[in-house]
Chain A
Amino acid sequence: MKPSLRGKVAIVGAADTEVGVVPHMTSTQMCAEAALRAMADAGISKDQIDGLITCNSRAESYKYHAEAMAEYLQIFPSYCINVATGGGTTFSILHHAITAIATGVCNTVLITMAESLRSGLSKEQTMSGQAAVGHSQFEVPYGPTVPSLYALIGRAHMEKYGTTPEQFAAIAVACRKHASLNPNAQMRDLITVEDVLNSRMIADPLHLLDCSLISDGGSAVILTSAERAREFSSKPVYILGFGEAHSHEHISQARNLTTSAAVESGKRAYEMAGLGPRDMGFAQLYDCFTPTALIELEDLGFCKKGEGGAFVESGSIELGGSLPMNTHGGLLSHCHPGNPGSMFLLTEAVSQLRHQAGERQVSGAQAGLVHGQGGIMSSHTTLILGKEIN
């Protein structure tokens, strides 16, 4: 039997920078600022960091970003990686950090990521980045935007299961409701289903308010072994399970448009944790577009396949419901700076499990699930976090 990594590693530091529109900071500065805030949260100095993981920034790119950030911060790690798998970036590398810690490669890993997607790039640069997502020969010539690629998934779900635009909109409404309780969120004014449906059509069936934000921001976490976590001043949050799964890269190669590899990544994470969907006090799910979150809810077992529409419409995903989702506001209303996007799902999960989420606290949360995906519903990673190991 292979040794289980359940509960072996804990998050001992977590912090975000100011997010939203942050033109007064570069992405490098935000990457460093997030790191410094996470270290302060963990009560450690930078000399104690011996593993560093970052993602590159388009606004201020370095050929070897993690090495450049180590130099900027004057950290001299024994483990240093720069990753990029789109929105799933944070989680796809997190369990590698867990493995490195559990095998003694390093002791204390800092993951810090930031991007100035809003203020650091021209509109043309942002759009050309979108064009780079498709297959250069067999998709890009047709003029797809990122929303249009997800719209293909949304349309397929509507067709197969009768899901409605109103139901997709319910996800945007719930996220905004949660963001209204979060002083750090970029968009805090409440919206209704009608507001979503009346917002500008971007790629049918996706309206403007079905699409996530374009933001600046940075976020960082610090991981160490569960044993060493006791030496830190912060309240540790334990990694109870993780699972990764990949099904395709380009959407035209997807084996299934309406069921994703989140089924497999979720199953792997639940099995390691020895927990199931009903044990989760909350879920922080990657919500780049409303259909993304709806399919994740189904594939991670929070409702039956095809019943995501009814599930979100019932209010289940709102605070006070059976599964509060994206309690910080998600990518739809809190912020979405690109590659670092899923970091904020993670730091929110840490706040929730420390019972420090203020007005938006899920009462009595003991365990929670976070899920990130990258590409076009392509690469999936699920994490299960717990307040206690047992």
Chain B
Amino acid sequence: MIDHSGKNFPNINVETEPYWQGCRNHELLIQQCSDCGRHQFYPRIICTDCSSKNVKWVRASGKGKVLSYTIVHRAISKAYKSEVPYVIALIDLDEGPTMMSNVIQYDPQNVKVGMRVEVVFEDWSEKISIPKFRPENLDQNE
């Protein structure tokens, strides 16, 4: 198992606890407005579209596509060095919101803008699992 100690762990707070609880269960949770139906990420106390405070947590499909990406050759710190070159990507979720993540289990050179991806969770500790993405249907392709 990869040693994740030393990495930049998220500092969870009361606003984001449900999200990280979901990640612990390997479920990607985002918010949806009960009034206008719009999805949003990251979590907030209001709907960024209609300003309603009736936002609820829903399970996202975990599928989306690569909006943009970069291959990092110079790691941010020692803890990330073993993963160089690693892909940082912006993922457009099928529900609408965009999130940052890594594209993993795939040759960085083959990552493309518009590529379909699906969420996969990386367990960093008992409490923290990080949602990452890999090409959709990777198992069938192999």
Residues of A with Cβ closer than 8 Å to B? 124, 127-128, 130-131, 134-145, 147-149, 151-156, 159, 200-206, 251-253, 257
Contacts and interface: CB of A to CB of B under 8 A. Distances in A.
A141 B68 contact: no
Q: Which 10 A-B pairs rank lowest in CB-CB distance, beginning with the nearest?
A: A151-B70, A204-B71, A137-B10, A143-B80, A156-B68, A252-B100, A152-B68, A159-B113, A140-B8, A203-B70
Interface of B: 7-12, 16, 41-42, 67-77, 80, 83, 85-86, 88-90, 98-102, 113, 130
Contact of B7 (A130, A143, A202): A143
A136 B10 contact: yes
Nearest to A160: B113
A206 B69 CA distance: 12
Contact of B10 (A141, A155, A253): A141
Contacts of A137: 10-12, 16, 42
Contacts of B42: 135, 137-138, 253
A154 B80 CA distance: 23
A147 B75 CA distance: 11
Contacts of B8: 131, 136, 140-141, 143
B99 A159 contact: no
Nearest to B122: A141
A12 B80 CA distance: 48
Contacts of B16: 137
B80 A252 contact: no
Contacts of A152: 68-70, 88-90
A159 B68 contact: yes
A139 B130 CA distance: 11
- Main secondary structure, interface of A, reads helix
Nearest to A131: B76
Contacts of B69: 152, 155
A288 to B, nearest CB: 15
A290 to B, nearest CB: 14
A203 B73 contact: yes
B104 to A, nearest CB: 10
Contacts of A130: 76
Given A138-B100, A143-B88, A143-B102, A148 B72 contact: yes
Contacts of B77: 124, 127-128, 131, 143
Contact of A142 (B41, B74, B102): B102
A143 B130 contact: no
Given A130-B76, A145-B76, A138 B99 contact: yes
Contact of B72 (A136, A144, A154): A144
Nearest to A145: B76
16 contacts: A124-B77, A128-B77, A130-B76, A131-B8, A135-B42, A138-B41, A141-B10, A143-B7, A144-B100, A152-B69, A153-B68, A200-B73, A203-B72, A204-B85, A206-B70, A253-B98
A254 to B, nearest CB: 8
Contacts of A155: 68-70, 113
A140 B42 CA distance: 14
A381 B83 CA distance: 37
B6 to A, nearest CB: 11
A340 to B, nearest CB: 24
